[in-house]
Amino acid sequence: MCMSAKTPSLLGGALIIAGTVIGAGMFANPTATSGVWFAGSLAVLLYTWFSMLSGGLMLLEVNTHYPHGASFDTLVKDLLGQGWNIVNGIAVAFVLYLLTYAYIFVGGDLTAKGLGNLLGSEVGLPAGQLVFFVVLAFCVWASTRLVDRLTSILIGGMIISFFWATGGLLTHVQLPVLLDTQAAEGTRYWIYLAAALPVCLASFGFHGNVSSLLKYFNGDAPKVARALWVGTLMALVIYVLWQLAIQGNLPRHAFAPVIAAEGQVSVLIESLSAFVPTGSMATVLSFFAYLAIATSFLGVTLGLFDYLADVFKWDDSTTGRSKTAALTFLPPLVACLLFPTGFVTAIGYVGLAAAVWTALTPAMLLYKARKKFPQSHGYRVYGGLWLVVWVFAFGLINIAAQILSQLEKVPVFKG
């Protein structure tokens, strides 16, 4: 399956990144950041966005020293050794397989309901999962260009549905609610920081796509860097507007039922309706969530596909891509059909495992690469040693926050 000779567009690459980043997980952000509230959530989102973007750009610089298509396996094995490559490989596979599994489950459920409404009769969950899976998996197997095209269409639908759903909320934002001016004197916000960090980290994951994009853009690293900037900034804007829509209308003290329901969208909308008209918001947000799951599935599996191709050194021929596709898609599909709710326990550890290969590994790779390739005249990410330390520390802080949250050793906001 050969790539077209036509030069891919910057926007296409940016949309692949934005589509990977903006998943249905964004619905958890207002709940996870309700403790630190709006000003705190802005600070956390900006800190996370800059750190995750920097980690991605570090991977891009390191990638330029290796053949196109080289992913984590080649880079980590060469620069950090086989021991760390095993640790990193387990973390990459755990996160990408688990997310693929979760997207097949949730996307399949929504597909089954949609088909049921269309056909006027009930459609089983396995049938919905297979339809959702086959259509999108074919696109990833076929080529990155097809993923680019489909993602562009889906993102367009996401943006329209997002503003359709939240337009009314954004025009009703109340500053006293947004700034929590009614809070009792001495109310504390920053003590709830640990609960917010890992959720925001999981909302900015795209690092599995860096080598895919470099290959797709035929080694044009500066263009890939611009795609990473534009794609992640698009996601950041959507996230900030979503925080504004929710935390500007639903008072902090009214978050208790939403937190108790673990951020469930239906409960969030029900709570909102007591303060502002929500109209058809639930229906439109379901449509948005479906498109978000589809674009995230495409982005995540594209990264996993290219990672596995690098691990097993399978080429870009039809046979090579078919073998890679089988290993990419069949395990999560089979797991999803056999154990439809098994991911609930493991999903809590996605942020912890992701911190390993989105922060710790990129920082260490860049440090080693600059020692090994001191005379490089290719793409170079901004910052020197301070950026390496910043991103590495960001990873450690998130791992600590995740572990302390799991052990219930940090304050948890209950509303």
pLDDT tens over the chain, length 415 residues? 344 446 788 998 999 999 999 987 788 889 889 999 999 999 999 999 999 999 999 999 999 999 988 899 999 999 999 999 999 999 999 999 988 888 888 888 888 888 888 888 888 888 888 999 898 999 889 888 888 889 889 999 999 999 998 888 898 899 999 999 888 888 899 999 998 998 899 889 999 999 989 999 999 999 999 999 999 999 999 999 999 999 999 999 899 998 888 777 778 888 888 888 888 888 888 888 889 889 989 989 988 998 999 999 898 888 989 999 999 999 998 888 887 665 555 666 788 899 999 999 999 999 999 999 987 778 999 988 999 999 999 999 999 999 998 888 999 888 7
- Identify the pLDDT of residue 142: 87
Q: What is the pLDDT of residue 361?
A: 97
Give the global pTM. 0.90
Q: What is the pLDDT of residue 1?
A: 39
Q: What is the pLDDT of residue 195?
A: 86
Q: Give the list of residues 6+ apart from residue 182 with CB closer than 8 angstroms, or none.
A: 176, 251, 253
The pLDDT score that the predictor gives to residue 230 is 97
Q: What is the pLDDT of residue 344?
A: 54
Asked if 220 and 43 count as a contact pair (C-beta separation under 8 A), the reply is: no
pLDDT for residue 248: 93
Report pLDDT for 129: 86
How much is the pLDDT for 117? 82
pLDDT, position 2? 40
